Amino acid sequence: MKIETGVATDIGKVREGNEDSYLVEPPLFAVADGMGGHRGGEVASHLALDTVEALAEQGRGTLGDQVREANRAVYEESQRDRAVTGMGTTLTAARVVDGAARVAHVGDSRAYLMRAGSLRQVTDDHTLVNRMVKAGEITPEEAQVHPHRNVLTRALGTEPDVQVDEIEVALMDGDRLMLCSDGLFGMVNEDQIQAILEAEPDPQKTADRLVRAANRAGGVDNITVVVLDAHDDGTADDGPEAAGAGPQPTRRRGLLPWLLGAALAVVLLAAALVGARAYVDGQWYVGIANEHVAIFQGVPAEPLGYHLSHVVEETDLGASDVLTLELYRTLDQGINADTREQAQALVEQMRKDLKASDQPQQAGVP
């Protein structure tokens, strides 16, 4: 089995940074969609993929084990570095060996299989709306436009341990496997995705066209697409050499942004120590004041006991309620925001998520 690959990632039309990452390192392929503020999102998605890649290179464990190890790495980094507190990421990875793709998955990025003219989603979204669809409360069409469609029920790096879905797909000649972040299918419906997958035979051009379609539809999120075309060339594929045949794989190295993030944290601390309040005051986060959710200006750190933040707005939202939501469990350590508006939007999202989290429970969803 020979695998030909195409990959494209794009910031989209709205976001200020690209928090998606991908890995195209045959026979290993993955996409990750980071979250937790600008820096946190980038660090989380890159660290997760770097960890999986490093373990795969050493041949340690199954893909599932490698993803669980990546969870621990992201979780530990988020505990260690307050600048990336609360970060997490999705991760959908495929390892193609012996004519089969072993898929490991956490979150709401997706793997699709295009076979003989029909498109099938291989992975299950770990989202609130998917739970609601399964419980028969809303239709898949309603889920597509639901205001809480971004609320994850499972993510990588937000807990010390994570449950990883593992799926095996036996590949046939002509199969097309696609990994993508929600910036694609959130913008482009599956009929359109299928039409592009059918119309364009070249995997790289397919990835580019899918990204263009998402941008034309608004591009409100980062978009990442990895396309894998399986061709039966009569050879047994026993490892990286066989699977790596085809165009020279490309990938985005993950270490640099991560180092930049760490360097920025050091600069921030140094700036704080010399009293450079101007820089610190350009930072925002959402935390807790008087047992309520509050917006802070500054950074959630107190080097040498020097307060580097102050409350700008105390909301009526109870901190203990918000802390029950998986997504905001690090609220007590402060969740970073790029601007005051973003901090306010985060508070509004907490309010909505809190409401949404009540609904399925009342309807009897576990």
Binding site for Mg ion (CB under 5 A): 33, 181-183, 221
Nearer of residues 169 and 225 to Mg ion, judged by Cβ: 225
209 within 8 A of 196, measured Cβ to Cβ: yes
Nearer of residues 89 and 283 to Mg ion, judged by Cβ: 89
CB of 10 to Mg ion, least distance (A): 12
CA 176 to chain centre: 22
Nearer of residues 183 and 257 to Mg ion, judged by Cβ: 183
Q: How are the residues of the chain apportioned to helix, strand and coil, as percentages rounded to the nearest 5?
A: 40, 25, 35
Structure tokens that stand for 90 in this block: 């999705």
165 within 8 A of 106, measured Cβ to Cβ: yes
Structure tokens that stand for 81 in this block: 């570095």
Nearer of residues 221 and 229 to Mg ion, judged by Cβ: 221
CB of 159 to Mg ion, least distance (A): 20
CB of 182 to Mg ion, least distance (A): 4
Those residues whose C-beta lies under 8 Å from the C-beta of residue 49, and which sit 6 or more positions away, are 21, 22, 23, 30, 32, 70, 91, 254
CB of 224 to Mg ion, least distance (A): 8
CB of 77 to Mg ion, least distance (A): 20
Nearer of residues 11 and 312 to Mg ion, judged by Cβ: 11
What one-letter code names the amino acid at 152?
L
Place of tokens 């944290």: 265
* Closest to 184 measured CA to CA, from 152, 217, 228, 151: 217
Structure tokens that stand for 317 in this block: 């939202």
Rounded to whole angstroms, the Cα distance separating 20 from 89 reads 9
DSSP character for 363? T
CB of 338 to Mg ion, least distance (A): 16
Coil vs helix vs strand at 140: helix
Nearer of residues 217 and 312 to Mg ion, judged by Cβ: 217
CB of 91 to Mg ion, least distance (A): 12
Nearer of residues 37 and 183 to Mg ion, judged by Cβ: 183
